[in-house]
Copies of this chain bind each other. A is one copy, B any other.
């Protein structure tokens, strides 16, 4: 195999002067030429000697079958053999209770870095997922110096195939995540060689980014790699161990969301992203060229999940992309994010749904704590954040909006009864709730009607005191959920009666036309018997960001989209 790694030796180029020579050469030119010739001859001789030595070395290379560059997999006829595809996981190896030293293992890994320590010794750090282990390549009567040199020269980030003996190191290895084991390499092949110059280093991606408005802190003299550079080179950035942890956690939230709701009888739905007309406020909707006409990208599955309730699907959930054409360039906004949505019919009171949503969130938080502890700890070792304070089961703080306003006033904030909460107010209220109830997670219920969408059910009191001249006064059966003082979910009881819905559409602060193309089918869905229902929509990236204390929501999106970014 080793032969394949030898770069073909090119002959030295002839001196340029020899190729020219129309007119007679000058004396100094002749002298120079002679010198060049001598130099070239020496070089050629040296080259020849080296080649001969190399040929002799290769002939004497006891390891020549044990290292080198593999041909591109899939490009050679494949013959299955006994050991085909039997590979070990480094993480699993490290977690074995039995003594694994002396065991022979084969694994595919990434070269995190490789260095020639001496002529007879190279070290290669191998990485698999979030685990790294030290590899020792030591010359012996069975392992040639050529192989040692080859191992120490593999470019970082190359993919390699390793056959090795597991050993206990004399003392714990400090520079790898697996510290109580190392591998003594017996065979080492490069599967895919990385180019030597990377646009950024993976280790630089593993240092924290500053929060909004904070200064980037230089770390151990390493270059500053900005968020923009990282996102421009996202494939390399994502190789960072903390990024693997972040997206494992993100997938975990989805899994826990679906697992809990399925256990409660919810069915997953796929509602359309392409709509014939904007339905929820035309300002922040993306327009699509659709054959001879136009389409619009869904800003939420709101209207469709309600239509599914009207279609007798009692409990529906959906995980899917959400598009918002908001020109907001903040650390909290994306133009495309993942919505975790649900809607359910209830029996008597919309708080049945609020309770289910609280239990859902507690299930997710507890699942993250137990099943994703390793990943959470890894990310928090980079982005330091207080542990997430969870309420005891069944006692999620649930305040009315009015109570929330009162808490803010008691704390010195000047705010009107029906004013929407600003982001600083929300954070302040979150801090007050944490202090009073010991929970980073709480619910604010009964929001003012005027600041909620047209489909929101007014509260009982609001309906009882209805005043036609002030149709948007009072509260509504709606709620927001908060983590660390930031909103992660918005929800409400929806109006399930077509006549009342039409009335509210016309009376809303921002009136909409019930007969418009985008709303007609929606309103009609409630004419033929629809049960009372409520639901909510959760921003997946926000949960991940707030659970981990990330400084920017972009860090919770594999390939984030904002008004200025559509690539990679």
A391 at the interface (CB under 8 A from B): no
**Contact partner, A558, options B308, B323, B338, B530, Cβ 8 Å:** B308
Whole-angstrom CA separation of A484 from B258 in the bound complex:
31
- Which of A42-50, A97-105, A189-197, A447-455 contacts the other chain? A189-197
A467 to chain B, nearest CB (A): 16
A59 at the interface (CB under 8 A from B): no
Give chain B residues whose Cβ lies under 8 Å from the Cβ of A244: 312-313
**Contact partner, A194, options B194, B295, B529, Cβ 8 Å:** B529
Known A352-B85, A461-B77, A531-B159; contact A521-B567, beta-carbon cutoff 8 A: yes
List A residues 224-276 near B (Cβ within 8 Å).
Answer: 234-236, 238-239, 243-244, 247-248, 250-251, 254-255, 258, 262, 267-276
**Contact partner, A563, options B291, B350, B524, Cβ 8 Å:** B291
B527 A195 Cβ-Cβ under 8 A:
yes
**Contact partner, A567, options B323, B345, B346, B517, Cβ 8 Å:** B517
List A residues 128-186 near B (Cβ within 8 Å).
Answer: 129, 155, 157-159
List A residues 283-300 near B (Cβ within 8 Å).
Answer: 286-291, 293, 295, 297
Give chain B residues whose Cβ lies under 8 Å from the Cβ of A521: 235, 567-568
Whole-angstrom CA separation of A517 from B567 in the bound complex:
9
A497 B192 Cβ-Cβ under 8 A:
yes
Known A238-B308, A290-B286, A493-B74; contact A85-B272, beta-carbon cutoff 8 A: no
A57 to chain B, nearest CB (A): 27
Known A74-B457, A531-B191; contact A110-B312, beta-carbon cutoff 8 A: yes
B251 A192 Cβ-Cβ under 8 A:
no
A522 at the interface (CB under 8 A from B): yes
What's the interface size class on A, roughly? Answer: 35 or more
Give chain B residues whose Cβ lies under 8 Å from the Cβ of A273: 273, 321, 323, 336
Copies of the polypeptide in the assembly: 2
Known A239-B311, A276-B567; contact A460-B527, beta-carbon cutoff 8 A: no
Q: List 5 A-B contacts (CB under 8 A).
A: A78-B349, A111-B529, A192-B530, A254-B268, A286-B295
Known A235-B524, A287-B289, A529-B192; contact A336-B272, beta-carbon cutoff 8 A: yes
A559 at the interface (CB under 8 A from B): yes
Whole-angstrom CA separation of A297 from B532 in the bound complex:
36
A95 at the interface (CB under 8 A from B): no
Give chain B residues whose Cβ lies under 8 Å from the Cβ of A461: 77
A84 at the interface (CB under 8 A from B): yes
A96 at the interface (CB under 8 A from B): no
**Contact partner, A274, options B85, B110, B323, B531, Cβ 8 Å:** B323
Q: Bits for A344-358, please: 1 = Cβ < 8 Å to B, else 0.
A: 011111111000000
B321 A270 Cβ-Cβ under 8 A:
yes
B251 A460 Cβ-Cβ under 8 A:
no
Whole-angstrom CA separation of A508 from B525 in the bound complex:
50
A505 at the interface (CB under 8 A from B): no
A395 at the interface (CB under 8 A from B): no
Whole-angstrom CA separation of A539 from B448 in the bound complex:
44
Nearest-neighbor residue (CB-CB) of A236 within chain B: B528
A198 at the interface (CB under 8 A from B): yes
